[in-house]
Amino acid sequence: MTSNAVYTFIGCLIGTLIYGVFQSALDGALKPSIPKVTNPWLSSSFASCALPLASVLIGVVCAFEVFRPSPSSLSWLPYVSGAVIGCLHLPLAISIGELLGGSSSFLVMWAQVLVGPLSGLSPFIQKFKWGFKRWWQIFYVGGIIAGGYLSASSANHLGQGSSVSQCEAVLGGALVCLGSRIAAGCTSGHGFSGTSLLHPTSLTLVVAMFSGAFAALTLL
């Protein structure tokens, strides 16, 4: 956990509020029209598409481990962690009919704050005020924060990660959450849930996210 993580969190709240206030205009100008399908190849069964893709991804993981092994200092191997996260889909889908996602949790937080005269600031945010199908993401994100803290504490890595300035942390958090809302999902919603359903929009967005991250890492 980096020393400026709290500023990134503040930035996420700011980005979410900006989207909530200007939701109608932003959606009309930027938000993609997402088809309600789970299989982009409608002439094929889901299994016939998903199993070959899973085999390819497993092969990629094995190749990385051969040519660029994970650091021995890691407590959890990345692909093991990914498999555990993926397995969370099943109990979540069975219990409440939802899949993983986290960016809406910030809308739930703002819905509790924008009360009284402030409620008119964003009618869109008010839709996230009540209901367990909204609130479960609060517990999900809270668990991520708590788990990250416990993991970093147990490994004596608290505050040791590479960090940026406070202003950059706020700006980065704001852009992440603003982009997540415009794209109708975050790295969890699209990266975990959307790609597991082979949703074409999610697959495209994940490629864009990794490309942008690689470009930023290279240029900045």
In the prediction, which pLDDT does 175 show?
92
Instruction: Give me the pLDDT at residue 72, please.
Output: 65
Report pLDDT for 174.
94
- Tokens standing for residue 128: 């996230």
Can you list the residues of the chain whose pLDDT is less than 50? 38
- Tokens 């849930």 -> residue: 193
**Kindly report the CA angle at 76 between 100 and 86, in degrees rounded to 5?**
20
Q: How far apart are CA 143 and CA 131, in angstroms?
A: 19
The whole-angstrom separation of Cα 81 and Cα 89 is 14
Residue 141 makes CB contacts below 8 A (sequence gap 6+) with 102, 105
Burial class (CB in 10 A: 0-12, 13-18, 19+), 209: middle
In 3D, which of 192, 182, 164 has the Cα closest to residue 15? 182
Q: Which tens digits make up the pLDDT trace of 55-77? A: 888 898 888 888 877 776 666 67
pTM of the model: 0.77
